[in-house]
Structure 1
């Protein structure tokens, strides 16, 4: 919030919405990006908003999931995402709230946003006939001046486990096969460590950094996880790792160009998922 005069302020969003701000705002190019949480508080349609750092005036807003098609779509990106949803998802909000994981690349002049999980978690409820449900659990690249969509990479298509991608997005220049690659390093909740070309969004590699029993591996040619049968707990409860806390959460990760290593605080916990709820296993 910005103070305009004693006792007055600018509010980042309608206080009647089931949203909250817990993440650190991201400053870039005379703007500040503010996200929000709230997926678990009720029907919520995620978005991020950029404000002028001097005045607090809204510069642009980017929605993470599509709204009701009957109301029209804000842009081409939302029309594209709607094709990956089914049923009346907008009545549940859809989710995707981005509360952390914002990175600005001054060299490429690109803003990267890590997005949240579905609302509700279980895809069978919010999108009953399946679908990837873009831009849930994704890294979305945006034009920092306009908020226009550039590209995306989805870590957990059609997510049903609270495996959001709000975790740190670390920029690194890596030498791969003798060539310098401008990369993103990302360790989201789902337990896989991703190296992504930050110019194009193309997957370079993805390997597990913790126990992952929901998917066997990430197929490099498609960039998609290969799910283990029963992982979606549709017919019976399933014991899954990681739990909803994730293999990595908001805790800061880092990369050292001196050692060539990434350092990730990890969580090792399983959970029993079912249509009735979730039980964490300690």
Structure 2
């Protein structure tokens, strides 16, 4: 049943009609648990509260798969505004971006111009920018753009997904760029031609990637809510005498809040991924696909309407 529910929600996450309806109706049906508001000003209040609790953040203006330059420019403008708002309010936050919202599917000229605008703003205000990884079909192009930008900017990182067969090779190649990497298991629906189908295989690859990148000496963000994976990182820390300044845990806004605070109280750096914006539907469906408990929460919210 869990697999069926996951596949259903991943399928729904790509439904354009539902995406349009979601934009029109705002943060309904439990979305406000996972999305911090529709504006950066609303999200900033949540970030400030998390900072007060010893947690840092990365903020993401929701949106993906734009196909016109006007929309890509609007997303870029909002990203720059988010950086300026972070700086103005003295928030401990980075910025995450999806390059399909910045013109990845339009042209190289468009996406490079928009990314450089964002990175220049980040450099000015000392804000790190992480390029989110999307579906496998865009992985190669995303990494090529990252490598180009990494040669120009030291405030850019990216994401690798453990469920893809190719990721070990990608990590080894990226090592020469001294990358800041967020390592995740992966949340898109992919075929078994490009991705591990079994959870055990994904977990094994994830552990291998985490250990390898840490031993390379690269800054590593371990994005997981998995207790066993967090215990594994703590074990690596002790076995290899790792400096806690070399890694952090990342978790999603609205999920395991108490555990986030517990890790921070233990002295670990914990970063909360905080999305905001009107285009919340695809993101929310992927969160529902990840954990059945999230589905139950939303159903309870609907019943209260």
TM-score bracket for this pair, using the shorter chain length: under 0.3
Higher share in helix: 2
Higher share in strand: 1
Larger RCO, structure (CA 8 Å, separation 6 or more): 2
So what's the TM-score if we normalise by structure 2? 0.26
